[in-house]
Amino acid sequence: MTKKVILYIAMSPDGFIATKDGSVKWLDKFNNSGEDMGYNEFIKPIDIVIMGNKTYQQILSFDCNYPYKNQKGFVFTNKKIGKDENVTFISGNVKEQMDKLEGNIWLVGGANLVNQFIKSNLIDEFIIFTMPVLLGEGIKLFEENNKELPLVLTKTKSYKIGVTESHYKRV
């Protein structure tokens, strides 16, 4: 089995994925719009979800069941190692941990983990949804000190609710 790591994430046109306090409530109106934006097709072939601990704790705080029960889950953290009913907690070098995994992998977030993956050249595809809201400040998706990473745009799509999907592959 081969490995493919996909970043599938929403951000504002000014590059933020969350407000200053880490909230993603600004996305609620899009998530509750009734428009799927391709998520159901995207998630079908995903074998593994990977996220940082803040993202995982945020998912657990939502008023719903853990949404990725059909995938193996891994949470990068420095706080806890082991398992709970949803995920395995891991720490250490992202490249070394990723070398142990195979399959279609969704890098859920957050920004710190995404940038570690970029620095280690581990992301094969970037599917970025640009939401029509300028946040002005908050948590930036991409750090300024990342290395140059050539990408090829393979698809763009716009949705009725004003969202634009851009799909890039690493060269």
pLDDT in tens, 17-50: 999 999 999 999 998 888 889 999 999 999 999 9
* Bridge partner residues of 158 (DSSP): 164
Q: Residue 35: what pLDDT? A: 86
What number does CATH give the domain 3-170?
Answer: 3.40.430.10
Give mean pLDDT, residues 78-93: 90
Q: Residue 98: what pLDDT? A: 97
Model confidence at 97, pLDDT cuts 50, 70, 90, reads very high
CB 26 within 8 A of CB 19: yes
| Residue 22 to residue 25: CA distance in whole angstroms | 9
Q: Please, is 165 exposed, middle or buried when counting C-beta atoms within 10 Å of its C-beta (0-12, 13-18, 19+)?
A: middle
Q: Residue 139: what pLDDT? A: 97
Q: Residue 96: what pLDDT? A: 96
pLDDT tens per residue across span 103-141: 999 999 999 999 999 999 999 999 999 999 999 999 999
pLDDT tens per residue across span 44-85: 999 999 999 999 999 999 878 899 999 999 999 988 778 999
- Domains of the chain by residue range: 3-170
What is this structure's pTM? 0.95
Neighbours of 143 (CB within 10 A): 13
Neighbours of 120 (CB within 10 A): 13
